Structure 1
């Protein structure tokens, strides 16, 4: 606090009594002419920017939020797994007595083509034996087939696996929005903790200075009472003031310790170990600079476009649109066309003739067509309607969210403007109260006032000073609330 908070404490002294204790009074005058609560020489200012930088870099919640994108990438990898090539093999053999009933071996490789729903197939089929179904029987060396499986019905343009992959990619945007939301929430909570620490520190400074002033005044009054210049009861009044302010200082000290503890929750080291705030670390001064309307309007415009909540809703809406597109496709008939070219494999015990073996031609082929169509489509139509209802819910939720965000930003702006006006009034009130204290001290020196009035004026000045620091703290919190409501990170942090 500035040294003019209480001013110089002068005692009324005339004649011989003053000369007897003049040296003591001069010492008191000298002490009270300087700031009573001087900042320790070994203190270090821990700025808000440094604090928020440590939170962003080392806080576990912030680091956890960074894992959201990694988790979303694993979802994309899982969705890509539906397009992994698959190899399969099937063997079925039966012998009874001395007869080989059948020996069936099927192997194949299926390779999905990602841009479309086509599967490329390469396989080997061998079915021999005395009682093999003639329609599946193959030459002794088996057949090689090369073909494709093409959905020409509901899955021609979109299917479940392509939908899942696209939704997983949109999930990356959802994860990024969730990361920003969690980081902003952590920084907002950290900002409140920092400025509450500032308030507790400044309140302790003010209360402690008031206590020391009262203690000095009590010592001076006691000296005057000893020489008979003032009544002994005046020392009692001075002592009561000391005791009252001592209780206030003890409470302020507890509040400061608790504020340090709450702030230490956000402090972590690079080795994932919590860090306790040292006692020699003090907060920076609160700068109450008004925010321009242009900045507020830019924040409002950005909030309605890239607020994390809106980005999350946009990602969910896009995912739901993909789901609706899939459900519309599932209403169509399910038609799958498969076509394969066949070729006999060579007999290794005989000669090797390329003209006879592996000669794929249209003459040797296999074609399949599957058609499935539910008659009532109740399941498909019900699921489509459910997805459409969800889309309407997301649209309505987004409209309400935009409105809420706008109101939150404007409410934070209004609170800032009001607090800025209150700050100016409170600063003038402190200045005026300081003048009143100084005038009361002058009247006390002239014998026109009492110790009670001086203490009362001084207590009121301390009270107004604490109120001023509360308003400064609220103003800083309002700034943090404004950026949080807009879904943006304060660039000054």
Structure 2
């Protein structure tokens, strides 16, 4: 069925009234916005994250675990006390009555062990080699490796490597925190873009609504054709649909950002609906070359990946020293001064007291003829060191180029934003001029809507560039192995 608007003025008025009522209802429903807004800046987010985020707390455990390994390695240097007792009586004869005790104190110097012992071995059938006088014998001596183990042994090797791993764990902690913050910063700027997009689309709905109201009134008095009201109504509907879509995107971006919000008690928090991102000035300037040079130099010396590689190098250096020590023959010397003295105050004859004439002495020697196992392990360590040197060389170059790449991206964003702002200003001039021509009857509603829609799209694109610039800025510091000072 075709409707002839010119021949049905009553129908025109009814149709316009219905349009005005329905659009007002839709616009009022879709444009409900929070009355008050509170700025939630990136600095506020950082403060919350670094206080309460579970991943940040988890990263701190890496250093604690490494220090626990150091404590465990120190256990190899703990003094050890051991004792044993055995007695046999049969047929009213005491076969043996043996008591042995020893305090062993590992020393850092030369891998030696200080030994203090007390032995009492008596009885009818006691081995003459181990028989002691009835009071027993006290011994004080040292066990020293003169060959293998003099410079470094297994326990010193383990302790040195565990201390080095504390630096490795600290670098890993920094890396994990930086990686987490980089993801969170990107989510923040995604929320920023979704928020700004919703704002601009909402402004577009308000503009379309006001234009529809004005055109409807002009149509009612006969200044505009009815078809203009229909076109204005369609524009309102299109922008309301776009607004609903952007509202969902904003809600989802808010939920994603809420993943990183936690309370002091460890409870998840939600980003309030009235929260707004921090404002960004129209003119954005990239960091200067001094900042870039500082980041490159800092990355070269403090980047977590490079620190981890250098730490592995230090660890392999200790391991290499230990493996070279294993090529030496084993030559362990043990010596003790012995005495029947059991207390400091009692009397003991000189020939039974501590002197050069009362001692125990022993030598232990061992040497594998081909050393194939030791030479193979040493060669493996040398190969790992060569591989590590290549990794360090390549990683350093990649890190530097990644920093320069991010800086170049910032330069591109800066130039694009400058041009985009000029384009937006020019487009605003076109929209104002087209509106004036429309008021004079020299333009059409279609042209106004087209230019206005393009202006909104250009402003949304600018906010997208701003968000992209900020994410690239966060990437620049992340590639340098640090975080932006907010």
Decide: shared fold, TM above 0.5: yes
Shift of 1:100: 2.9
> Are the aligned partners of 1:344 and 1:357 in contact in 2 as well (CA < 8 Å)?
no
Q: Aligned to 2:83, what secondary structure does the other structure show?
A: strand
The match for 2:440 is 446
Q: 1:180-225 CA deviation, whole Å, 9 max, x = no partner?
A: 1111111111110111111011000000110111122122222222
Residues 253 and 335 (structure 1 numbering): CA distance in 2 closer, same or farther, change over 3 Å? same
1:437 correspondence with 2:443: no
SS of match in other structure, 1:116: helix
Structure 2 unmatched runs, 5+: 1-30
* Shift of residue 357, structure 1, vs aligned partner: 8.5
* Equivalenced residues, count: 453
Could you tell me how far 1:117 is from its partner in structure 2?
A: 0.9
Determine the structure 2 residue equivalent to 1:89.
83
Distance 2:240 2:271 in 1: 25
The corresponding residue for 1:17 is none
Say if 2:293 is the partner of 1:297.
yes
CA contact (8 A) 1:147 1:339 kept: yes
8 A contact 1:109–1:122 mirrored in 2: yes
Asked whether the 8 Å contact 1:323–1:387 carries over to 2, the reply is yes
Q: Which residue of 1 aligns with 2:326?
A: 330
Q: Is the 8 A contact 2:148 2:330 kept in 1?
A: yes
Quote the Cα distance in structure 1 between the aligned partners of 2:176 and 2:377.
33
2:304 aligned partner: 308
Aligned-pair distance for 1:269? 1.3
In structure 2, the residue matched to 1:253 is 247
Cα distance in 1 for partners of 2:140, 2:312 equals: 41
CA distance in 2, matches of 1:154, 1:415: 58
Deviations along 1:418-473, one digit per CA (max 9) or x if unpaired, are 11001101111111111111111111111111000000000000000000000011
Distance 2:320 2:87 in 1: 46
| Structure 2 equivalent of residue 267 of structure 1 | 261
362 and 211 in structure 1: CA distance in 2 versus 1, 3 angstrom threshold:
same
Report the 3-state secondary structure (helix = DSSP H, G, I; strand = E; otherwise coil) of the residue aligned with 1:66.
helix
**2-structure distance, mates of 1:65, 1:358:** 62
Q: Secondary structure at the match of 2:262?
A: coil
Aligned partners of 2:110 and 2:149 also within 8 Å: no
Deviates more, 1:435-444 or 1:375-384: 375-384
The separation in 2 between residues aligned to 1:357 and 1:254, in whole angstroms, is: 98
1:39 offset after TM fit, Å? 8.7
Q: Which residue of 1 aligns with 2:194?
A: 200
Distance 1:394 1:358 in 2: 60
Structure 2 equivalent of residue 468 of structure 1 = 462
Give 1:365 deviation, angstroms: 0.5
- The alignment's TM-score, normalised by the length of structure 1, stands at 0.89
Q: Is the Cα contact below 8 Å between 1:286 and 1:473 reproduced in 2?
A: no
Structure 1 residues 54, 360: closer, same or farther in 2, change over 3 A? Answer: same
Q: Which runs of 5+ in 1 are unaligned?
A: 1-36
Question: In the TM superposition, what is the alpha-carbon distance from 1:176 to its structure 2 partner?
Answer: 1.2
CA RMSD after TM alignment: 1.8
CA distance in 2, matches of 1:109, 1:397: 47
Aligned-pair distance for 1:132?
Answer: 2.0
Structure 1: how far apart are the matches of 2:184 and 2:301?
Answer: 25
Distance 2:231 2:272 in 1: 38
Which moves more between the two structures, 466-475 or 111-120?
Answer: 111-120
Matches within 5 A, 1:72-151: 72-151=66-145
